[in-house]
């Protein structure tokens, strides 16, 4: 097994539905594995000749072990010709390390969770379990899964250690239950979810304004986009800022991003947001002064038409449609927010140009800090009944080495491309792959040198180049499928004012509001969130539309605490206090 310098690269990991299980180690069953066994023996000899037995210890076994697998995947999963869950490139790779697979069941992905739950209830359950949220905590506290603190320290490779630290250790911290490590986080990329502002540069040019750096400037620009006919069609059919009024947290058009400009954070997905303020943990919407300042400005924007009168019924799809059709000129979204809209607006206006920028400052210099939190999508754990718990760490070592340190186009094609990575028993795709893509692809566009690009990056480069080249012609073919794809990719990875250029600036400036609570939501949080989130959204919308005064937010906060907010905040504070270095 090779050793390489860890590459900081990412992707929004698709949380797969394959449920893996390991039986106690033993001789592989006679089921046509002669070829694989021979390969394993050959590999063993090769390793011994190279004098690297310690790598065999980290990535496999000196004697064969049997791995029982439960396959739970979508029925439309496209296998490569001749491949099955029992016969694929990953099966062969594991066999080279004396790990052999025995498939014990196949179910549809929709049945995977129930299948695993039934197995655990029966007491005859997989040794390797991919689990999430409160189930993970329950499995740890009831003895279903094992404390792996010691085996991780003993067997984790350097690459695996760097993998779990690629998010600053947030995922590993969240994996601890009562101070013990019970699982290894399956990491996503927190930067992929960081919110930013997308704005029409061509509209800014038309109205003679600059990218807004403060919220007051944002208001001025949004008002100009509403009143000064930035699309030049002579009609009163545009407005400034698209907002999603259907949920406190949303990707496209998320209202929470506006408040991030003030240093607040009132909601996130299906769980609470907690921030540190003046040494204490508070709910992100409990920063009363910051919230009321933002609400005051949003009410002003609502009155002058800078935001749509029906924003309260807009969801993600509607916001995307508004931006893509050229009806509005500003939207908050993650780094990929302009991919679809950019490819769409250029069809009607070849001069259209959507750029990205950090969220404007609301309270004064430095108040705007995008929310940054745990992007763990699950935890790989090992059964407390497993005789060899180190096998989990060895499987992870192997998958991290192959997936996060791909050495060649051939290796990428063999183990990752065409969803081949889904055959891995531990699907540790590169957490920071998109960041690496940005650095390498943007450089290649500048220099024309593609020698350092991998297969995926070369594909991205080719499509972005097709877009840039066609735009140099007299009649750009922006309807071309490759060009359309290139436009979207350019908005993320190629544009000096694109989505990942903003992420790069956030990283370099260390400008982010790191969550003060990065553990799995407690049972109380899960129970109280729906009621308190609904109350928050209703209050915010009413204040923006003028159906309630701004000062009513204080009364809302009192009610929020009484209805359960005080308890969940106390739990977040206790976790924070226990996990400070």
Cross-strand pairs, 200: 354
How many Å apart are CA 62 and CA 98, to the nearest integer? 7
pLDDT score of 189: 84
Contact in structure between 464 and 489 (CB atoms under 8 Å): yes
Q: CB 580: neighbour CB atoms within 10 A?
A: 8
Contact in structure between 427 and 27 (CB atoms under 8 Å): no
Contact in structure between 229 and 235 (CB atoms under 8 Å): yes
Cross-strand pairs, 280: 277
Q: CB 57: neighbour CB atoms within 10 A?
A: 14
3-state secondary structure of 329: strand
Type and span of the H or E element at 396: helix 390-404
Helices (H), 474-560: 481-489, 499-509, 523-545, 552-560
How many Å apart are CA 146 and CA 388, to the nearest integer? 11
pTM above 0.85, yes or no: no
| CA-closest candidate to residue 70, choices 25, 121, 108 | 108
pLDDT score of 247: 62
Per-residue pLDDT of the chain (581 residues; tens, 9 = 90+): 443 333 333 333 223 333 333 333 433 433 334 433 334 444 433 433 443 434 447 999 988 888 777 788 877 677 888 888 889 999 899 999 988 887 877 888 888 888 888 889 988 888 888 988 778 888 999 999 999 999 999 999 999 999 998 887 888 988 988 889 999 999 888 888 899 999 999 999 999 999 999 999 999 999 999 999 999 999 999 999 999 887 655 678 889 999 999 999 997 666 789 999 988 999 999 999 999 999 999 999 999 999 999 998 888 889 999 999 999 999 999 999 999 999 999 999 999 999 999 999 999 878 999 998 877 878 999 999 888 899 999 999 999 999 988 878 788 889 988 788 888 989 998 888 899 999 999 999 999 999 999 888 999 999 999 999 999 999 999 999 999 999 999 999 999 999 999 999 999 999 999 899 988 888 899 899 989 999 999 999 999 999 999 999 999 999 999 999 999 999 999 989 887 76
Helices (H), 51-178: 53-59, 89-96, 109-122, 133-141, 149-155, 158-164, 170-174
How many Å apart are CA 280 and CA 278, to the nearest integer? 6
Contact in structure between 431 and 166 (CB atoms under 8 Å): yes
pLDDT score of 305: 96
Helices (H), 304-359: 316-324, 339-348
How many Å apart are CA 46 and CA 40, to the nearest integer? 10
pLDDT score of 78: 78
Q: Cα 311 vs. chain centroid, distance in angstroms? A: 26
pLDDT score of 178: 86
pLDDT score of 14: 28
pLDDT score of 10: 31
Q: Cα 438 vs. chain centroid, distance in angstroms? A: 16
pLDDT score of 3: 38
Q: CB 535: neighbour CB atoms within 10 A?
A: 15
Q: CB 115: neighbour CB atoms within 10 A?
A: 18
pLDDT score of 148: 97
Contact in structure between 55 and 94 (CB atoms under 8 Å): no
Torsion sign (Cα): 258, 263, 269, 272: negative
Alpha-carbon Rg for the chain, nearest whole angstrom, is: 26
Q: CB 234: neighbour CB atoms within 10 A?
A: 7
Contact in structure between 518 and 376 (CB atoms under 8 Å): no
| CA-closest candidate to residue 492, choices 359, 355, 372, 370 | 355
Residue in the structure block whose two tokens are 């992870």: 396
Quote the tokens at residue 158: 């350097």
3-state secondary structure of 245: coil
How many Å apart are CA 365 and CA 51, to the nearest integer? 58
3-state secondary structure of 445: helix
Type and span of the H or E element at 186: strand 184-187
Helices (H), 18-69: 34-50, 53-59
Q: CB 150: neighbour CB atoms within 10 A?
A: 13
Nearest 10 degrees: CA dihedral of 295, 301, 302, 304? Answer: 150
How many Å apart are CA 374 and CA 315, to the nearest integer? 24
pLDDT score of 269: 61
Checking DSSP bridges between strand 99-108 and strand 65-73, what pairing results, if any? parallel
Question: How many Cα atoms within 13 Å fall on the side-chain side of residue 325?
Answer: 11
How many Å apart are CA 215 and CA 221, to the nearest integer? 10
């Amino acid at each position: 097994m090779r050793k390489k310098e860890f590459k900081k690269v990412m992707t929004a990991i698709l949380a797969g539905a394959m449920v893996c299980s390991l039986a106690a180690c033993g001789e592989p069953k006679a089921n046509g594995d002669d070829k694989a066994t021979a390969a394993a023996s050959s590999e063993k000899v090769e390793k011994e000749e190279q004098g690297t037995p310690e790598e065999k210890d980290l990535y496999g076994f000196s004697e064969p072990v049997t791995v029982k697998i439960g396959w739970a995947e979508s029925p439309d999963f496209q296998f490569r010709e001749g491949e099955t869950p029992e016969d694929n490139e990953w099966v062969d790779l594991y066999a080279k390390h004396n790990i052999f697979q025995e498939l014990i069941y196949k179910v549809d992905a929709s049945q995977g969770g129930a299948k695993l739950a039934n197995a655990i209830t029966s007491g005859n359950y997989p040794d390797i379990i991919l689990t999430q949220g409160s189930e993970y905590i329950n499995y740890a506290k009831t003895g279903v899964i094992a404390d792996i603190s010691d085996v991780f320290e003993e067997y984790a490779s350097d690459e695996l250690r760097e993998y779990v630290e690629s998010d600053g250790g947030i995922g590993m911290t969240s994996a601890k239950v009562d101070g013990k490590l019970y699982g290894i986080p399956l990491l996503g990329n927190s930067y992929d979810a960081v919110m930013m502002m997308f704005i029409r540069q061509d509209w800014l040019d038309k109205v003679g304004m600059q990218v807004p750096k403060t919220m007051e400037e944002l208001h001025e620009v949004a008002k100009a986009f509403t009143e000064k006919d930035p699309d030049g069609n002579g009609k009163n059919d545009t407005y400034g800022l698209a907002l999603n009024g259907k949920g406190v947290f949303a990707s496209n058009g998320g209202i929470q991003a506006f408040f991030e400009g003030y240093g607040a954070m009132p909601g996130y997905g299906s769980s609470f947001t907690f921030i540190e303020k003046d040494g204490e943990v508070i709910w992100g919407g409990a920063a009363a002064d910051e919230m009321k300042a933002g609400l005051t400005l949003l009410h002003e924007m609502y009155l002058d038409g800078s935001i749509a009168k029906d924003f309260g019924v807009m969801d993600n799809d509607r916001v995307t449609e508004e931006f893509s059709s050229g009806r509005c000129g500003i939207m908050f979204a993650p780094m990929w927010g302009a991919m679809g809209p950019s490819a769409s607006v250029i069809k009607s206006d070849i001069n259209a140009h959507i750029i990205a920028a950090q969220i404007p400052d609301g309270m004064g210099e430095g108040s705007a800090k995008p929310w940054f939190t745990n992007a763990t999508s699950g935890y790989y754990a090992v059964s407390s009944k497993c005789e060899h718990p180190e096998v989990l760490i060895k499987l992870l070592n192997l998958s991290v080495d192959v997936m996060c340190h791909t050495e060649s186009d051939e290796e990428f094609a063999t183990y990752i491309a065409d969803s081949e990575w889904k055959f891995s028993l531990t699907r540790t795709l590169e957490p920071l792959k998109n960041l690496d893509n940005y650095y390498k692809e943007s450089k290649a566009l500048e220099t024309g040198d593609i020698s350092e690009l991998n297969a995926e990056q070369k594909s991205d480069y080719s499509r972005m180049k097709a877009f840039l080249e066609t735009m140099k012609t007299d009649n750009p073919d922006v309807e071309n499928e490759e060009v359309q794809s290139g436009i979207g990719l350019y908005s993320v990875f190629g544009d000096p004012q694109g989505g990942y250029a903003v992420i790069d600036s956030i990283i370099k400036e260390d400008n982010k509001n790191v969550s003060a609570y990065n553990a799995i939501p407690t049972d109380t949080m899960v129970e109280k969130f729906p009621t308190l989130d609904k109350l928050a959204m209703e209050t915010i919308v009413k204040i923006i539309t003028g159906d309630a005064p701004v000062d009513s937010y204080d009364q809302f906060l009192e009610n929020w605490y009484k209805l359960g907010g005080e308890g969940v905040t106390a739990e977040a504070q206790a976790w924070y206090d226990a996990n400070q270095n």
